Each structure stands twice: as C-alpha cells, then as structure tokens.
Amino acid sequence: MIEFDEPNEDWLGHLSPTAKRVLKDLLDGGSSPEEAIELWLGGAHQSSIAGMGGAGQPKKYSTLFMNELRILICTDDPKYKDLRAQFPKINKGTAGAAISSLSVAFASTLGVATIIIAPAIVLGLMTIAKVGVTAWCAQANV
C-alpha cells in the first residue's frame, strides 16, 4: 500500500502553469478536490466514453479515473504492482516523479493525454493524503 505524507499545495507546482492556475482557482473558490476532479475531467474535455458501436451507457472520465486510482491505492491488483513498488511513499521529494509516472500509466489506460490526467492525479493524491489511505479506500469501495 502506498503511504503519504501530509498533502502539500506545492504538488500543484508539478503541473503546467495553466492547470496550476485553474486548479488553484477551483480550490480557492471552495471546490473540494473531488469536485475539482469532476470539473477538470468533465469540463472542456470529453466527458463521456461510449461503448463499442455507441451502445450502452457512456461512462464519465472522472468515474473511470477514480476507479483506476482506487485500484492503485486500495488493492494489490497486479496492474499497478510496479508503480506501487516504485513509489511506496509519496512525499515532497517523490511527488513529481510519482505524478509523472502515474499520469503516463493512467493516460494510456483511460485513453487521454498525460497533460489532461496529471491535474486529476495531483488532486487525487492530495485528497488521499488529507484523509488517509484507509479512510479514502473505505469510502472509495462503497
């Protein structure tokens, strides 16, 4: 299981200037990190993915993202075994590399660019660090 130090707004510094500004505005404006993830991934970006042939209910990127984050943080799923081994603890010193590596892994799984997924990674990690892994996983597995 990945461990976290206290959340740090310096983690936003690992993002592009535009993403950093938008997320800071969202958070300063009263949005929770979870709400900011929904707004970021559903805002100006494609907000849903249809199944093959357009059949079925489309799924929101934010829902798909949160599921991948849950798999990474709350399970021992082999899909993210190497990432868990690479980043047993995320703190000020490892945050930049973790954000980059997680962005690449999630972007390929979700089919979006890393520049789009990286801000959601930062918000997700900040949320988990704030409430704690055990509490976040209990809520995420509901």
Whether 50 is covered by a domain: the verdict is no
Whether 49 is covered by a domain: the verdict is no
Q: pTM of the predicted model, to two decimals?
A: 0.85
Count how many domains the chain has: 1
Tokens 């055990």, located at residue: 134
Whether 54 is covered by a domain: the verdict is no
Give the list of residues 6+ apart from residue 50 with CB closer than 8 angstroms, or none.
56, 58
Q: What is the pLDDT of residues 117-137, one digit of tens each?
A: 999 999 999 999 889 999 999
Residue 47's pLDDT band, with cuts at 50, 70 and 90, is very low
Buried/exposed code over 62-99 (b: 16+ C-beta within 10 A; e: otherwise): bebbbebbbebbbeeeeebeebbeebeebeeeebeebb
- Residues of the domain holding 81: 3-43+59-140
Total residue count of the chain as it appears in this document: 142
Q: What is the pLDDT of residues 52-107, one digit of tens each?
A: 455 555 568 889 999 999 999 999 999 999 999 999 999 888 999 999 999 999 99
Whether 53 is covered by a domain: the verdict is no
> What is d(CA 120, CA 124) in angstroms, rounded to the nearest whole number?
6
Whether 109 is covered by a domain: the verdict is yes
